[in-house]
Copies of this chain bind each other. A is one copy, B any other.
């Protein structure tokens, strides 16, 4: 069973690192088809980066199904374009944040998220609402580091993340802590070692959820919100190329 793991940013090294985690947790019979989106920002930091990454991600999903993928995992903690992905995919699509928060809610009554930049905080808080976390999501903390520094400067950044994990346990009374960026995935073992509570990276469980849905016969419903896009003819030629100000 082929599971498509799409990294919506254009940094191949990050795709490779996430794919290693995915393969380590996928279980027997699962092939991970890891893809880097093309022409997108090098990292996804905020709403505008998300928006610029999604069209290429949709193309990758369509291409992956043509190559036999039966389910998809979006390997970015902002879950960019999750609804649009479900509209173009026939198989199930799982977001990384979605999987991580669902896992957290099954093993802990209260949990916190530790992420990279402050601008990701309200995005993740809104995702917490979307996935119904309610008061279970105690807090989202930003370690205040750029995403790619996780890749290039782990010696400097990991202690900052570890400090936020400790703060979550001590001040929020969090019973588990979620790593809020796909780039933290490679460092789970180190970050989880002394936390005293479960530390959750969503990559492995996202693969398991996607594969589990497909294996039990559950495909994306095409009956309503996630119907395939309608094919449309352009209404007219578009000769105007400059903004139309009158």
Contact = CB atoms under 8 A, between A and B. Distances in A.
Interface in A87-146: 87-88, 92-94, 98, 102-103, 106-110, 118-119, 121-123, 125, 129, 131-135, 146
A221 B107 CA distance: 6
A67 B119 contact: no
A33 B243 contact: yes
Which of under 10, 10 to 19, 20 to 34, or 35 or more describes the interface residues of A?
A: 35 or more
Interface in A29-46: 29, 31-36, 38, 41-43, 45-46
Given A36-B244, A63-B243, A223-B175, A122 B109 contact: yes
A84 B51 contact: yes
- Specify how many copies of this chain sit in the oligomer: 6
A153 interface: no
B14 A152 contact: no
A93 B48 CA distance: 14
A45 B212 contact: no
A210 B233 CA distance: 32
Contacts of A103: 213, 216, 218
A220 B107 contact: yes
A102 B208 CA distance: 14
A134 B176 CA distance: 24
Given A13-B236, A238-B10, A243-B64, A223 B169 contact: yes
Contacts of A32: 246
13 contacts: A28-B29, A33-B243, A33-B245, A38-B238, A41-B229, A45-B230, A46-B227, A55-B55, A64-B243, A83-B109, A86-B107, A107-B219, A109-B225
Interface of A: 2, 10-15, 19, 25, 27-29, 31-36, 38, 41-43, 45-52, 54-55, 58, 60, 63-64, 67, 81, 83-84, 86-88, 92-94, 98, 102-103, 106-110, 118-119, 121-123, 125, 129, 131-135, 146, 148, 151-152, 169, 173, 175-176, 196-198, 200, 204-205, 208-209, 211-213, 215-221, 223-227, 229-230, 232-236, 238, 240-241, 243-246
Q: Kindly list the 5 A-B residue pairs having the minimum CB-CB distance in the complex, ordered from nearest.
A: A132-B132, A208-B212, A109-B225, A204-B216, A51-B84
